[in-house]
Structure formats: structure tokens, C-alpha cells
Chain A
Amino acid sequence: MSAWRVVCAKEILENLRDRRTMISVFVIGPLMGPVLFALLISLILSTQLEQAEKPLEVPVVGAEHAPQLIRHLKAVGVVVKDAPESPEEAVRKRDADVVLRIPEGFAESWREGESAKLELVLDSSQQKARASVTRLKSALQSYAELTASQRLLLRGVSPEVVRPLLIAEVDQSTPQSRAIMILSMLPYLLILTVFAGGSYLAIDTTAGERERQSLEPLLANPASRAELMSGKLVATTLFAWASLALSLVLFSLSSSIIPMDKLGMEIKLGVMECLKLFLIAAPLGIVGAAVMTIVAAFAKSFREAQTYMTFVILAPALPSMVMAINPLKPADWMYSVPLVSHQLLIEQTVRGEVTAWAQVALSVGVTVALGLVLAAVAARLYHRESLAISA
């Protein structure tokens, strides 16, 4: 058996016996993504469903001034409630999303044919109240339009005269594309899992080995340092992949549990999609293992390495975060940039778009090449004299 395989087998055996590694690689790492994902989606689902389906309750001040308007509101499904003592306070305290106030002079203005004033008491910074406000406004608007048409007809004028434009919206969003905001998180969570899955071994096999004073005897073996290093990198990569695979299975399970169709969304995470996602994300495992090994090589102790590792694990999140807030229009060059290409390809796969195999090949090729270059750098670092000497 060649030296790198001996090293790899030993690192795997040793880490399978370490409860801390096992928990971080096979429990916390893979669970973190799917659980976060499921929680967020159910939260979004429940608030959106609630807002769309629940009857609109509106406290009304001065309902007696406009009985006909109230009748109309009730007819279109608004539940008219008694006014609170102080509408402003009720809105501020979020007891009511919006309060309708009908001033005393309303009936008079209405009779005279003047514009009659209504007041909506609302808090525009309240995200949750926005749907109620919009629904109330459109209910009021429909009453206003109805009345305007009647008045014009009485005067022998066609209502169309005052309606020179008729705007019809043709919505191009598909059920899947509406889920984009949620989905843009998924690539990040997968990338995070790949990096986090390998981090424990990257530290343990390098900084840990130095700290335990076992590196010097190891280097006294005839195997070259590059060979020893590759064994460690392969073990680290395998653990990262195991973590990724487990995470994908959990994602797949959680996506089948959440009733996505209720929101008109569809996320595809079947066996084929999971395999594709694994193929797309796996090369990052090599890059992650190499980067983390390089970083751990500079650390004097396990603890120091762990501190650096936090930054290394979070760094790949940057492209994902930027792209979640400000989605880029996919261009060909993006598929040759690791992390950016992963963001795009993972999103496209989950959205159920046709897989562009040329782009996948480009992304995998570039990422694997980058990983190998970084692995060579890591191996070179291990040839440095100072690195071999235990503290």
C-alpha cells in the first residue's frame, strides 16, 4: 500500500473514533443547513399564507358617517370592527394593522360631489401590515370607481372617458422563480457544509499533529512529505464529501416534508438533483481541504487553528450573500469562477432548469484545478524546516 493511502486510512480511523469530529462532521454540519432551511421556509410560508387567507379586519372610526361605504366594504369581505379608543396608539402597538377614519364632514362632501376625505392610520415601516393596507386600499378604490361610474352615467358620459388607460398585468414569474429568494440561501448552506465538514480534519491532521508532538516521528519515515500531505488531504476531502452527501439527503427529506406547493413554489430535490448537486459542490471539498490545511499549517496550536478556521469557513459565503441580495444575470465567464459558478449552478439545479453540462464541466474543471494547485502549495509548505519542528 502506498504511503498516502496508509496515512489516509489512519486519519480516517483515528477521526472516526473521535466523538467531537463525528458530531461536527456527521451531525451538526449536515443538520445545520437543512434545519435552517426548513425553519425559514416554514416561517415564510406561515406568514404569507396567514396574510393571504385570513379575513381583513379593519377597525373603523366614524362608521356612522358613511353607512353605504361600510356596506360596500362588508360586501367585499372586510370585517368592520369597532374603533379602538386611540387609533394611533392601536397601530403603534400593532393591535391593528390599519384603522380607517371617516371624518364628520364626509357625508356632506359626498352629497356636494366634492372629493370626500378618508384617513388611513398606518405604520408604513410595518412589513406585516403592508398586505392589510393594500387590501383595504383596493377595497376603497373599488367603491370610489363604482361611484364615479354611476355619477358619470347619470350625466350621460361614458365612464371610459375618465379611464384612458386600462392596465393589465401579465405576470412572468413561474412558481419556481418566486422561490428565488429562499433558494439563493441553499448554495451558501451547501458550500458551508463542505467547508465545515473538512475543517476538523484539516486542523487535526496538521496543527493537531504538531501540537501532539507526533509530526516529527512521522517525518522520520521514508515516505516523502508530499506523500504524507496528500494522504491527509484525501482524508479531509473524504470527510467533507461525507458531510455534503449527508446534508443533501437531509435537504431532500426536508423539502419533501414542507408543503411547498401551498405557496405555488416547487423545489426539486430528488435523487437525480442530489447527485447533480453533489457533483457540482464536491470539487469545493478539495479546495476547502487545501486552503484549511495551508491555514492550519501556520497555526501553532489546535486552538489557534480553530480561530483562523472560523474565517475560512465564512469567507466562501461572501459571493453567495452578494448574489442573494443582488442577483447577477448569469454570464458565461461566471462559470469559470469558483463559488460564483457554484452559486449559479446549484440555484439552477434546484429551480429545475435544464442542466447546462458544459457549464458544469467548466466549473468542476476549474475548481478541481484550483484545488490541486492549492494542495501543491500545502505540500510545499510542509517542506519548510520550521514547520516540522514541534514547538
Chain B
Amino acid sequence: MIEIQSLYKAFGAVKAVNGVSFTASDGQITGLLGPNGAGKTTTLRMLYTLMKPDAGAIRVDGLDVATDPSGVRRRLGVLPDARGLYKRLTARENIEYFGRLQGMDEASLQRRTDGLIEALNLDEIAARRTEGFSNGQRVKTAIARALVHDPRNVILDEPTNGLDVMSTRTLREFMRQLRAEGRCVVFSSHIMQEVAALCDRIVVIAKGQVVANGTPDELRQQTGESNLEEAFIKVIGSEEGLLQ
């Protein structure tokens, strides 16, 4: 469970995040939807403690990021915007490296790595060095790496960016599976259709602020539009993010 309250972050004169609040519950997929530059990535970066908020509070499973950042990171599985792999290591070694950094013991590390390799269809490439991987193979390896320690909360920043149809399908299936396992899944996207297809809850962000927050049905009701697409355009005031 992730709770974010009145989050602010400015870079010089630019107010990247300007009062964002929302809650993401366990067993649900929460989508952060908004055009590029809306403040989604900055919000998530503060959530996984890469940046410090100027003001506001974030709690993960009740732990405060300000007082226990390392405890928070232990409870999070993060696929950041930057998702570089170590290309001289194999996919499996990449995954194991992060597992060891999470302090896992070897037995559960091996068990968990095997499970993720199977769930994400990585069998064929697990023993290969990641240099020369396709975009889809890279993202899947990076997700396995992020989830190796079996975190209760999963944060995925634009996970489907640049993926082909097959990889996107695998990924969506995987996210539904994470929800079924009772995890709290937060993912960001600028693609409305994707959010609509997956999310139990949608948080629409524009210009650093939450402009709408609710289930897809609530969003339709709030805007008085029967069509989610129209509802989205209405709340953010632009058509950006629809043309995919």
C-alpha cells in the first residue's frame, strides 16, 4: 500500500510536482496517466527515494520515506525510467546481482530467479549476456531484476515504452498476475488505452497536479462522458497521449 500526500518538487523555477496526492491499494493496479512532462516520473522518483520531496509525505506499507528510506526500498520493486542492464553479465547474473543487493539468501534467490525467468518467458536468453538484447528482452530482464526480492509493492515507470505487441501482451498478463498475488502495482503511462485496459484505479496527472482520481467508471461519471477517451481529453485539456 502506497500513500502519497501533497507532494511538491521544484527544479529551479519549474514546479515539476505541485501538490500530488493519491493512494494505491494492495491487490489493485493503479495507473498514473498523463502527458509527457506531467510530473509522473518525478513523483515516482520521490516514491523510490531517488529524490527528496520539497514538501509532502510518502508512506509505503506505513513506512515513511523520509525516516526509513532503506526500509521503503526493501518493500518496493522498481522499474525506473532508466533501465540499463549490465551488458557484460548474463540476464540471470543481472537478476541475481539485484537479489544479492536486497540481501537474499542463495536458496531463495535461485528459487525466485527461476520463477521469474519462467513467468516472463526468459528461458532462452537467461544464460546469454545482455549485450544485443532486443528492447523487449531488456525490459523483461529489468522487470525480473526489479522483482527478484518478491516485493509487496511494484512500481513500473512507462513499462511498455518501445515494446512490440507480443512483449506488451506478456507484460500486461504479468501485471495482472502481480495483482492476483495481492501486490500493490503502480505504473505510469501516457497511453490512455493501456491504462483503461489494465487499471482498477486511474490517477490523471497534468502540469504537476492530480486532475482526476478514481475508477474508470468514476472518471466517466465525473466528466459526464461515456467514453474514457473523451473523459481523458476533458480532464487534461489536450489530445496528447491518445495517438498510439
Do A10 and B89 have beta carbons less than 8 Å apart? yes
Asked if A390 and B101 make an inter-chain contact with CB atoms under 8 angstroms apart, the answer reads no
B74 neighbours in A (Cβ, 8 Å): 222
The complex places the Cα of A341 from the Cα of B80 at a distance, in Å, of: 47
Query: B88 touching A217 by the CB < 8 A rule?
Result: no
Alpha-carbon separation in the docked complex, A17 to B86 (Å): 11
Flag whether B175 is at the interface (Cβ < 8 A): no
- Among B25-33, B46-54, B161-169, the stretch that binds chain A is B46-54
**Using an 8 Å CB-CB cutoff, how does the interface string of A204-247 with B read, 1 for contact, 0 for none?**
00000100111111111111100000000000000000000000
Q: Which of B71, B93, B98 contacts A221 (CB 8 A)?
A: B98
Q: Mark B91-133, 1 if CB is under 8 A from A, else 0.
A: 0010001101111000000000000000000000000000000
Cα–Cα distance between A216 and B52 once the two chains are bound (Å):
14
* Residue contact A1 to B86, C-beta cutoff 8 Å: no
Tell me the chain B residues, 120-158 only, with Cβ under 8 Å from chain A.
142, 145-146
Q: Is the pair A6, B100 in contact by a Cβ cutoff of 8 Å? A: yes
B101 adjacent to A7 (CB under 8 Å): yes
Q: A6-B100, A14-B89, A217-B146 are in contact. Are A212 and B76 (CB under 8 A)?
A: no
A253 interface hit (Cβ, 8 Å): no
User: Beyond A221-B98, A222-B102, A388-B50, is A215–B82 a contact (Cβ under 8 Å)?
Assistant: yes
Q: Mark A363-374, 1 if CB is under 8 A from B, else 0.
A: 000000000000
- Residues in B with CB closer than 8 Å to A13 are 89, 93
The answer on a CB contact under 8 Å between A217 and B73 is: no
Say which residue of A3, A10, A209, A217 sits within 8 Å of B83 (CB atoms): A217
Q: CB of B84 within 8 A of chain A?
A: yes
- Min CB–CB distance B156 → chain A (angstroms): 12
- Give the distance to chain B from A389, nearest Cβ to Cβ, in Å: 7
B142:A3 contact, CB within 8 angstroms: no
Residues of A within 8 A of B73 (CB): 220-222
Bound Cα distance A17, B89 (Å): 9
Contacts of B234 in A (CB 8 A): none
Chain B residue at smallest Cβ distance from A19:
B88
C-alpha spacing A218/B80, complex, angstroms: 10
Asked if B227 is at the interface (CB within 8 A of a chain A CB), the reply is no
Interface residues of A in 1-50 (CB under 8 A from B): 1, 3, 6-7, 10, 13-15, 17-18
Interface centre among B49, B76, B103 (most CB of A within 10 A): B103
Given A6-B100, A7-B101, A220-B86 contact (CB < 8 Å):
no
Is A385's beta carbon under 8 Å from chain B?
yes
Contact A385 B89, beta carbon cutoff 8 Å? no
Q: How far is the CB of B61 from chain A (nearest CB, A)?
A: 14
Which residues of chain A come closer than 8 Å to B85, judged between CB atoms? 212, 214
CB neighbors of B among A50-75 (8 A): none
Does the CB pair B80–A222 fall under 8 Å? no
Enumerate chain A residues within 8 angstroms of B88, measured Cβ to Cβ: 14-15, 17-18
Q: Is there contact, CB below 8 Å, between B82 and A213?
A: yes
Known: A221-B102, A222-B102, A389-B50. A216 touches B89 (CB 8 A): no
B-side contacts of A213, CB under 8 Å = 82-84
> Distance in Å from the Cβ of B192 to the closest Cβ of chain A?
26
Mark interface residues in A186-213 (1 if CB within 8 Å of B CB, else 0). Answer: 0000000000000000000000010011
> Residues of B contacting A217 with CB < 8 Å?
78-80, 82-84, 98, 142, 145-146
Any A CB within 8 A of the CB of B81: yes
Complex interface residues of chain B between 33 and 53 (CB less than 8 A to chain A): 45, 48-52
A390 touches B51 (CB 8 A): no
Q: Roughly how many angstroms separate A59 CA and B76 CA in the complex, as a whole number? A: 90
Contacts of A7 in B (CB 8 A): 101
B70 at the interface (CB under 8 A from A): yes
Query: What residues on A are CB-neighbors of B80 within 8 Å?
Result: 216-217, 220
17 contacts between A and B (CB under 8 A): A1-B100, A3-B101, A3-B103, A212-B87, A217-B82, A219-B50, A220-B49, A220-B73, A220-B146, A221-B98, A221-B101, A222-B70, A222-B71, A222-B102, A223-B70, A224-B70, A390-B81
- Apart from A10-B86, A385-B52, A389-B50, what 6 extra A-B contacts exist at CB < 8 Å? A6-B100, A213-B82, A214-B82, A216-B81, A220-B50, A222-B101
> Closest 4 A-B residue pairs measured CB to CB?
A213-B84, A214-B84, A213-B82, A390-B82
By a beta-carbon cutoff of 8 Å, the part of chain B in contact with chain A is 45, 48-52, 70-71, 73-74, 76, 78-89, 93, 97-98, 100-103, 142, 145-146
